[in-house]
Amino acid sequence: MVELSLSETTAARAVFAARLPLAERYVEHLATSGIQRGLIGPREVPRLWTRHVLNCAVVADLIADGAKVADVGSGAGLPGLTIALARPDLHVTLIEPLERRVSWLEEVISDLELDNVEIIRSRAESAVGKVSCDVVTARAVSALKSLAGLTIPLLDGEGILLAIKGRSAAEEVADAARTIRKLGGVETTVVTAGDDVLEEPTTVVRVRVSQG
């Protein structure tokens, strides 16, 4: 079992509440079959909670109640599956093109008996028109300039893009500004999530998309 430090335990309880046991089972999947099947590197095990699961799950704080979320390039379920675990009121669609990753995600979702998650095996651009969502999330997919073109069309003219980024977020925003405007982005900001529970809050680029 992947042990939590005291600070990780406190944060995990705050983020996942009653669903913490499910989050712990998810981390066990990451640390075992996730490594065996190449979704997570073995060196990441000591950092699974802080760097991956909690870092992603706190993005749920930026999402309105009852929203429909599409997660692009879900891979090992980061951030989509962590958001679904933290927020049972949300409906999350995981969009992932690789069959081996989709198979793993299906196994994990079945084991955790999550009823607020579905998976579409597809590239993001091919999922446009097939997925209805209010929010699109992504992590480690590509630079914002190209990511915008993969994600914003899924919103069908109205909604929010939440892209988890690192220290280069402001530069990526500047580089992508023209592309985002062309796609209907009317407001782009760099925000943080998890300020009250994480030692290092998660940096998120938030793009509001509107036709009006």
Tens-place pLDDT, residues 6-31: 888 999 999 999 999 999 999 999 99
Please name each of the domains of the chain with its CATH number: 59-209 (3.40.50.150)
What average pLDDT does the structure give for the chain?
95
Q: State which amino acid sits at residue 77.
A: G
CA 124 to CA 57: how far, in whole Å?
21
Radius of gyration of the chain (CA): 16
pLDDT at residue 95, rounded to an integer: 97
The CA-atom distances, in angstroms, between 139 and each of 74, 110, 115, 186 are 8, 23, 23, 21
Question: Tokens 């073109």 correspond to what residue?
Answer: 149
pTM, entire model: 0.95
The CA-atom distances, in angstroms, between 8 and each of 3, 40, 95, 118 are 9, 20, 28, 28
> Closest Cα partner for 198 from 71, 1, 15, 3?
15
- Residue-wise pLDDT tens digits, 131-144: 999 999 999 778 99
- Residue-wise pLDDT tens digits, 97-149: 999 999 999 999 999 999 999 999 999 999 999 999 999 999 977 899 999 99
Half-sphere exposure of 80 (CA within 13 A, CB side): 32
- Find the angle CA(183)-CA(67)-CA(205) to the nearest 5 degrees: 45
Q: Is the pLDDT of residue 57 over 80?
A: yes
Q: Average pLDDT, stretch 86-91?
A: 98
DSSP symbol at 77: T
